[in-house]
Structures are given as structure tokens and as C-alpha cells.
Amino acid sequence: MPEAALDFADEPPEAQAARIAELNDRYRHHGATSVLQGALRDPQAGKLTLVSSFGAESVVLLHLVSVIDRRTPVLFIDTQMLFTETLVYQQELAERLGLEDIRIIRAADAAVAKEDPDGTLHQFDTDACCDLRKTRPLQTALKGFDGWITGRKRYQGTSRAALDFFEADGPDRIKVNPLAHWAPEDIRAYMDENRLPRHPLVAKGYPSIGCAPCTSPVAPGEDPRAGRWRGQDKNECGIHIVDGRVVRRSEPMNVIVTDAGFRQDDWQGNAVLDLASDTDPNTVDLSAAPGLIRVDFPSFADGRGFTIARQLRLRGYKGRLRAHGHVIADQYAMARRSGFDEVEIAPDLAARQPEAQWQFRADWQRGDYQSRLRG
């Protein structure tokens, strides 16, 4: 860990975005161990903690951390709804790996007594229960850190398809995802090679393990996460911050397209000005505009969004311009020439129009007559 963590609390959004981009550039071609080792020592990453559920695959990151620096703080959220097997596994694993700074975090007693006195909240409002027992305790525990290490991976669904090693987590914290590029077979191979103990419930049909009331076994051929909140429209327990407000998010995150390809949104938690496609750009107060303006492109609409971007640039707007909505790969060059910096699309559109199509379009300057004139 860096000896003295940098204070990123008052870092402007543009500076945070630039710092994250630099970290991703620096570690772009590194493997998981190297990313983790670098992040734990890199002053630009700040003071980090590993957040672990001690679930089915957690042992991989816990082992990596124990090898690099066993004094790394590890946060374990005990929702008080966990399987007994998880609690036993947590203690045995921490001891076996020699982890020296395990911090067990729980919801405040007063909050539980008020909001879930009989422990049945999960039966009628799982979002509220996760908020009480996971999200808020984690947010409190993370206050002393500049960022946290997660075990999230790209293969875990379209919402994570563009996951980078480093990403923003609100305005003053980052997430580090060293295993972003790992496949399921990499996880299995790492466990085998290092003879790491499995969570005992994996052998009983639980490939993904959360709280006991919300986790059921998975049948052969089912999605590994099918047993989490089975039958409910919910697949994440975390929070998301929009315009400074904490909101729950269970829907997939959009994909951002830039000249460098797909990536996750690095602007989360920062102010955004959303403009509808029929906005008159001359009525927009640019003196009060935030660092990112997002222009909507509805399905089957004409190209008014391109005109809005062009006008905003002509009026001197220097912030980021993002085309948002039903923009297709064929329109990328036009969007860039109009003054947009990037495009935001839904995961299903990203799945139908993969990165390679957009990266080809990213060569937009070749068709830009102004660039050709400039030589």
C-alpha cells in the first residue's frame, strides 16, 4: 500500500476521469497479479481495500492479496443472513491465508431494530433489505479508502462486458477489477494450481453464494447466478450514484463507445445536462453547463442531435459531448465530426453491434475533409 494515501475527496470529475484513464493505460497489457500488485502500491490508486463475500470464487483474489501483501484491509459484509457454511469458511480461509486485517462489517443495531425488527424484510422488499444490510454498511466502511478491489469479471453479463481494470465509483472513489479479463476456466485453473479450498456449498449446487434466504441451488445448464434472488427482477445488490444522489441500480449499465473502443462510464456520480433531441441549442445556458452534455437520439428519429452538437461547439462549449440512445456504428463518424466525443448505447445494442464495428468507424478522421486539408 502507498505510505500516505492521496486525498481524492475534492478531486474535480475531469481530474478523476483523467487519473482513471492513466491507470487503465498504464496497466492495459498487464495480468491480474501485476494489476493488483501495481494498484496496491500506486499512489494514483490511493489507499485500497478488498471487499470480499467469501463466496464461491472469492478465494482467488484473497489468495492473490495474501501473496502480495497480507496486511491489505479486507472488508467482509456479514449481513447476519449468511449461510453458516460461509461464516465458517471465512474464518478458516482468513487463518489459512494469513490475512492480517479482516474487518467484519454489519448494519448498525439501531437501524436493523427500526427497519427489519423481525428479520423478514427480504421477503417483501429485497432492495430495502440489501440497502440496510449491505449497501449502507459498505458505504460507511469505505469512507477511509480511496478505492476498493472487486472480483467482478467481463464474462459475468452484458452489464460487465466492457469492464476495465479501473473505474469510477462515484466522485471520490475508484473500483479496481484485477480479474476483469478472466474466464471461468482461469478461475478454476488458479484454484487447482494453488490447491485452494472451495466454499463447501459449491459442491452442493451453489455456484454463486449470497445470503441464505435469497440463494438457491442451480440446475445443470442454468446461468450460475440463476439461484440469486430467483424469480425476482434483481441481479445486483449494490448502489449507484446519479447527480449526487444515491440510487439503487439493478438494470444493466450502458456501454460508452470512444475512438479507443468500448468502455464503462467514467462519468457516474457527476453532474450531466441531458438534452432532448428537439432542444433548441441556442437556448442552452452554457455558462451553467456541467462538464458533460448528453444529447438524446431516440429510435427512428432524424439527425437533429448532430446539429445540436455542432451548434454547441460553435457557441464555444468545451466540455464533453455524448450522443446517447439509438446511435448505430454507421453513425459514429458523423457523430465525431459533429463535435461529439463519445456515444452511449444500451448493452443489447452493444451486443448486436460489437466493438470491432465501432473501432473501425473510429477511424473517422480519414473521411474528415478538414483533417485532410490540415494534412
In the bound state with ligand SF4, the residue whose beta carbon lies nearer, of 213 and 290, is 213
- Residue 211, strand partner residues: 82
Tell me how far, at minimum, the Cβ of 230 lies from ligand SF4, in Å. Answer: 11
Query: Where do contacts with ligand SF4 occur on this chain (CB under 6 A)?
Result: 79, 81, 122, 126, 129-130, 133-134, 210-211, 213-214, 237
In the bound state with ligand SF4, the residue whose beta carbon lies nearer, of 59 and 211, is 211
Q: In terms of C-beta density within 10 A (0-12 exposed, 13-18 middle, 19 or more buried), how is residue 265 classed? A: middle
Residue with cell 478531486: 11
C-alpha cell at position 238: 449494490
Tell me how far, at minimum, the Cβ of 296 lies from ligand SF4, in Å. Answer: 34
List CB contacts of 230: < 8 A, sequence separation 6 or more.
Answer: 216
Please give the sequence-ordered ranges of beta strands (E in DSSP) within the chain, or none if there are none.
48-52, 74-77, 102-105, 147-149, 166-168, 174-176, 239-242, 245-248, 255-258, 261-263, 273-275, 292-297, 320-325, 342-345
Residue nearest ligand SF4 by beta-carbon distance: 211
C-alpha cell at position 332: 459514429
Tell me if residue 237 is catalytic: yes
Tell me how far, at minimum, the Cβ of 209 lies from ligand SF4, in Å. Answer: 11
Tell me how far, at minimum, the Cβ of 78 lies from ligand SF4, in Å. Answer: 11
In the bound state with ligand SF4, the residue whose beta carbon lies nearer, of 134 and 337, is 134
In the bound state with ligand SF4, the residue whose beta carbon lies nearer, of 83 and 166, is 83
Tell me how far, at minimum, the Cβ of 122 lies from ligand SF4, in Å. Answer: 4
In the bound state with ligand SF4, the residue whose beta carbon lies nearer, of 211 and 284, is 211
Distance CA 14, CA 12 (A): 6
Using alpha carbons, select from 262, 301, 307 the residue that is nearest to residue 282.
Answer: 307
Residues marked as catalytic: 237
